[in-house]
Amino acid sequence: MSQARFASCIPLPIEHKALVTVIEKARDWGLMHGVAMRDKKHFNKDVIQVAPFVLLPSPFPKTEFEKAVELQPILNELMHKVAHNDEFLEHTLQNALQVDEFTKSLYDIWVKVRNEGITQPISLGMLRSDIMLESRCPHTENQCAKHTPYCSWKQVEINSIASGFGHLGPVSREIQR
């Protein structure tokens, strides 16, 4: 059973040679406009590589986007409260702290700052919410496929570490033009 899909912004399929040309041009444009990073494993201060980016935008229904925007302040407040709840953090991270060095190092920084005393009354949470459209609609299996290729959006992840590439959002929009 085929499911309805959102229309692509360009005619697909695209000829392979044309696709390779578009990719090469997008990568070059990206390097000239900050879509770059250094390789952590083989670090060389004189070498950069293209950071991952999406060549074609994914269509997203305006109504679902507006619902996500409306909910975002609530999620932001929740994340702020979680990040400042020592008891909750210690309890939920106890197993991860034993096996994940990166998480442990971040938690150790938090403990040190907390023990020394927080002197800055203002904090900034730089977060990225990853959401996806749910295409499997078990409660309305037959109805969903007839009307829309999705039934709702789902919060997949709230990411703090990957927010360092926050500048890629606006640059990606320019690449996709």
Radius of gyration of the chain (CA): 21
Amino acid letter, 14? I
Q: Which residue has the tokens 């044309």?
A: 18
pTM of the predicted protein model: 0.64
* Neighbour tally for 25: CB within 10 Å: 11
User: How much helix, strand and coil, in percent to the nearest 5, is found in the chain?
Assistant: 55, 10, 35
Per-residue pLDDT for the chain (177 aa), expressed as one digit of tens each? 344 456 666 777 889 999 999 899 999 998 888 888 888 888 998 988 888 888 887 777 888 888 889 999 999 999 999 988 999 999 999 999 999 999 999 999 999 999 999 898 888 888 888 888 877 766 655 554 455 566 778 888 888 776 666 667 667 767 766
